[in-house]
Amino acid sequence: MASALRVMLAALAVPPWLAPAQALETGQLAPEFALVQAADAVRLADLRGKVVYLDFWASWCGPCKQSFPWMAAMQARYAAQGLQVIAVNLDADSADGRRFLAASPAPFPVIFDPQGRLPRQYAIKGMPSSFLIGRDGRVRRQHAGFNQAIRQQLEADIHTALEASP
């Protein structure tokens, strides 16, 4: 009985953003979003013409600690060419995400989505998950996880997206 109860409780602890959703395909239009945080609003529609690196992260995610300095470097290196990094925090308590940001500041917009609406739209499967969205609003690449080995490939994908015409 106790083990059955543990299984039921574990099922309830699954983050809401892991709810089944239809996977996005490369070349598909990225789902529109408008996330408002206090006085700030980030709308994908407002970023048409830019290449968007959309990253989903949480404070408890080990690889996210590696990805933040890399995303900051990408934003600095490619902003003038049209790159916009956007990070979406999925912590149930946004205070956890804010503590993370105090240690790893972000020179790009960070939006908090504790209800997990946006990751359901994007059908993310793990942390971190990223989507490279072209100037035309179409998904060019999606990736789950982050490590040293993938950095060069992701940067090459960003560079290719920046050079592509919409």
Provide mean pLDDT across the span 80-105. 94
Provide mean pLDDT across the span 84-109. 93
| Residues in Cβ contact with 135 at an 8 Å cutoff, skipping those fewer than 6 apart | 48, 49, 50, 51, 82, 161, 164, 165, 166
pLDDT for residue 19 is more than 70: no
Percent of residues, the chain, with pLDDT higher than 70? 83
The pair of structure tokens assigned to 46 is: 């407002």
Provide mean pLDDT across the span 2-17. 41
Please give the Cα distance from 161 to 147 (Å, whole number). 21
Provide mean pLDDT across the span 24-40. 77
DSSP 87: E
Please give the Cα distance from 70 to 48 (Å, whole number). 23
Task: Return the minimum-mean-pLDDT range out of 37-41, 58-62, 73-77.
Answer: 37-41
Residue 93: how many CB atoms within 10 A of its CB? 11
The pair of structure tokens assigned to 116 is: 């997990």
Provide mean pLDDT across the span 85-96. 93
Mean pLDDT of the chain: 84
44 and 33 Cβ atoms separated by less than 8 Å = yes
Residue 7: how many CB atoms within 10 A of its CB? 9
The single-letter code of the amino acid at 156 is A
**pLDDT tens by residue, 147-162:** 988 999 999 999 999 9
Closest CA to 61 of 153, 144, 151: 144
Q: Which residue has the higher pLDDT, 22 or 49?
A: 49
Q: Which residue has the tokens 């490590």?
A: 147
